[in-house]
Amino acid sequence: MGFFDKLGDKMKAELVDIIEWMDDTNGSTLVWRFPRWQNEIKNGARLTVRPGQSAVFVDQGKIADVFTEGMYELTTANIPILSTLKGWKHGFNSPFKSEVYFVSTKVIPAMKWGTPQPLMMRDADFGVIRVGAFGTYSIRCVDCKALMKELVGTDGVFDTEELAQVMRSLMQQAVAEVIGAAKIPALDLLASYGKIADEIKEKVKTQIDDEYGLSLVSVQIVNINVPESVQKAMDQRSAMGALGSASLGPAPNLGAYQQLQMGNAMGNAGSGAGAGMNMGMGLAMAGQMMNQAQQQPAMVAPPPMPTAAQWYFGINGQNVGPLAMDVVKQFVTMGQIKPDTLAWTNGQAAWTAAATIPALAQFFAPAGPPPLPGGGPPPFPPK
C-alpha cells in the first residue's frame, strides 16, 4: 500500500458522517427532514439528538428506529429494527439509504384559538345572546410515530402554522360545546374562565392524544365577549345598583329604573355648560332618592305641603318628568324644551305643544320689543 493510499484511509477515518438538527426557526418547526444526497448514511455515522428532540428513521416508507436525546454511532447494534429490515446479520460496511426526520418534543406555547362567528347562548338574565371567545394554548409531541403517520407523512418540513390549521376546528368545536353546556350566566363568565378552560382542554386532549400523538399542555381564555347591547344592559344594571336599587335580578325595582331612565335622558340632552347643569340635576335627583330610601317608616311624617303643578315633556323620544316650573325654565333656557315640545300635566286632556299652554307660554315670549321696520332706527329730524 502506497503513501497516498494510507493518507486516503486516514482522511476517510477522520471525516465522520454527522447527522444533527440545529433548529434556528425559533421553535416554529415541529418536524424537519435531514437533507442527505440520495439519503445515504455511512456505517459508523454519528447521530446527535439534542434536548427537546427525537430522531425517526424511515426506510422505504416504514418507520424503523426512534432515537431520543443523546449521541449515537450508527451500527447494527443500535439500529435493530432497521438492521432487521435491511437483512444485516453481521453489520454493514457500505452506505445505506434511510430518511431521517427530527421531531421537536418541546412545548410549543402561545398557539392562538378563537371563535370565527359568535356562539348562540341562552342566558337566564338576558335571554338568547351571542358570545365570542378567544385565547391561547400550549401543545407538545408525545408520540413521534403517531405524529409522522397521521399528520406529517412525506412532508419535509411541518411547522406550527400547519399544526394550527389542524387544531383550529378541534378547538372551535370544543369551545362551542363547553360554553353551550355550561349554562353560566353572562354576568358570571369572567369568574368561570378557569373552569371553562379546563373543560376545553380535556375535551380536545382526548382526541389528539389517541390520534395525533400530541398532548395539550394548557388552555388559556383571554376573553369571552358579549354583544354591545348586552354590555349596555350590564352597565345600566350597575348604575341602578349605585343609585340604591333594591334588586339586580331579572326584574329590577321599577321606580329606580324610571328614575335612572329620566336621569339618562337629562344627561344625554345638551352639551358644554348645559351638560354640567344636567349632571348637577342628575346628582340632585340621586341624592333625593337616597334620602327617601333612608327615611324611617316608623316615623310619623307631617302632612305634605301643597305643591305646584308638575310637568312632563317628550324629550328625545322619552318621557321626562315630573319637573317643577323653575326646572322647566332652565330646560327652556338650555334649548332642551322648545315651543313645539309636547307637554302634559295633571288635569290636561292630551299632550300639547308647550308654547300653546298659557302657563308655559311665558317662557317662549320674546326678550324685548320686536325689531324696527327697515332694519335700523329712524333718522333724526334735521335741525
SS3 377: coil
Query: Does 144 score more than 60 pLDDT?
Result: yes
Buried b (16+ CB within 10 A) or exposed e, 191-205: ebbeebbebbbebbb
Query: Does 1 score more than 70 pLDDT?
Result: no
pTM exceeding 0.95:
no
- In this structure, the number of other CB atoms found within 10 A of the CB of residue 320 comes to 22
Spatial CA neighbour of 315 closest among 290, 299, 334: 334
* 270-275 long-range Cβ contacts below 8 angstroms, 24+ apart: 270/334, 270/335, 270/336, 274/334, 274/335, 274/336
Spatial CA neighbour of 55 closest among 63, 158, 97: 63
Q: Give the number of C-alpha atoms closer than 13 A to the C-alpha of residue 110, restricted to the C-beta side.
A: 3
Spatial CA neighbour of 56 closest among 30, 93, 88: 30
Q: And the C-alpha cell for 229?
A: 347591547
Query: Does 273 score more than 50 pLDDT?
Result: no
Instruction: Give the residue with greater pLDDT, 261 vs 32.
Output: 32
The DSSP 8-state label assigned to residue 236 in this structure reads H
- The secondary structure of the chain in percent helix, strand, coil, rounded to multiples of 5, reads 40, 25, 35
- In this structure, the number of other CB atoms found within 10 A of the CB of residue 96 comes to 19
SS3 79: coil
What are the tens digits of pLDDT across the range 318-361? 788 788 888 888 788 877 888 888 988 888 888 898 888 888 88
